[in-house]
């Protein structure tokens, strides 16, 4: 039996995190680098990625690469995987974290543009990235893919229905890819609940206060790290096709 410190060690690995410059993506990037991984930080605003990459290089000594990527565009997804392998020589971990949940006034008022944008960022892009990454991993040393979903994919509300539908598709993608690329590539999902990120500033006060959440509060972004480290590491060597809820124990949809 290997000691826990060794099981969670990511030294020599390369991890790509989309939506990695802020919120829970930022905390995952920092945790992976602190555990020894070189990291690729991807989002639409490359300047934010570069600022975090500089911090990672300074504080951990790991390689950190910033890449502009709109995950709703397949050509950007293709370039992200290709550039990662070209610049860092390998790809071991992919975290599909980028997401978007646009506001709307009513279900009937949802435009085709809003719907298509929501599905593109939350499902189409992650599909392409995961397939490309898993193919590379399978042909080399294996790896791990982590899809960041939402508890809303199981407990959907009218306030975020296109988003919930897309993330429900991500749950199915997780299971399907786990089978398709076994045994060399593990594919799992994390289903967060209410996390106090930039997005939470638009939430109703009761949600921010933790009303309806058994643990009585929203989570801090760093509280995603335990699940994200586990699924990326050798500690999860027998875990694939799983969805781990990190939601404070909710049993019904909390308004928000």
Secondary element (H or E) of residue 117: helix 112-119
Q: For the purposes of burial, counting CB atoms within 10 Å of the CB of 9, is it exposed (0-12), middle (13-18) or buried (19 or more)?
A: middle
Secondary element (H or E) of residue 55: helix 46-60
Our answer to whether residue 163 is catalytic in this structure is yes
My answer on whether omega of the bond before 95 falls inside 30° of 0, hence cis, is no
Of 131, 96, 94, 97, give the one whose Cα is nearest residue 15.
Answer: 94
Ramachandran quadrant class, 216 (left: phi over 0; alpha: psi -120 to 50; beta: rest)? left
Instruction: Write the CA distances from 182 to 33, 57, 139, 168, 231, integer angstroms.
Output: 26, 33, 12, 22, 15
Q: Is 127 helix (H, G, I), strand (E, B) or coil?
A: helix
235: its two tokens: 């500690």
Cβ atoms within 10 Å of 59's Cβ, excluding its own: 12
Instruction: Write the CA distances from 102 to 48, 159, 202, 224, integer angstroms.
Output: 21, 10, 12, 23
182: its two tokens: 């076994």
Find the catalytic residue in 32, 104, 115, 163: 163
Active site positions, annotated: 163
């Amino acid at each position: 039996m290997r000691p826990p410190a060794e099981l969670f060690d990511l030294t020599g690995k390369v991890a790509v995190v989309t939506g990695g410059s802020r919120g829970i993506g930022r905390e995952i990037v920092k945790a992976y680098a602190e555990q020894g991984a070189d990291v690729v930080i991807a989002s639409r605003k490359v300047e934010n990625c570069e600022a975090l990459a500089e911090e990672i290089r300074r504080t951990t000594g790991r390689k950190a690469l910033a890449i502009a990527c709109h995950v709703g565009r397949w050509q950007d997804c293709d370039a992200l995987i290709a550039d990662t392998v070209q610049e860092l020589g390998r790809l071991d971990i992919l975290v599909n974290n980028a997401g978007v949940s646009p506001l709307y006034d009513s279900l009937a008022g949802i435009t085709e543009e809003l719907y298509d944008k929501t599905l593109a960022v939350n499902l189409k892009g992650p599909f392409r990235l995961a397939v490309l990454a898993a193919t590379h991993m399978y042909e080399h040393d294996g790896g791990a893919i982590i899809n960041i979903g939402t508890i809303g994919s199981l407990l959907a509300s009218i306030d975020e229905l296109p988003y919930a539908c897309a993330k429900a598709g991500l749950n199915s993608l997780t299971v399907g890819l786990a089978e398709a690329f076994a045994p060399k590539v593990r594919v799992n999902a994390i289903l967060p609940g209410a996390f106090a990120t930039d997005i939470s500033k638009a939430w109703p006060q009761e949600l921010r206060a933790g009303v309806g959440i058994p643990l009585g509060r929203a989570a801090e972004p760093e509280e995603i790290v335990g699940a994200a480290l586990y699924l990326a590491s050798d500690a999860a060597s027998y875990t694939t096709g799983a969805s781990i809820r990190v939601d404070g124990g909710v049993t019904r949809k909390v308004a928000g």
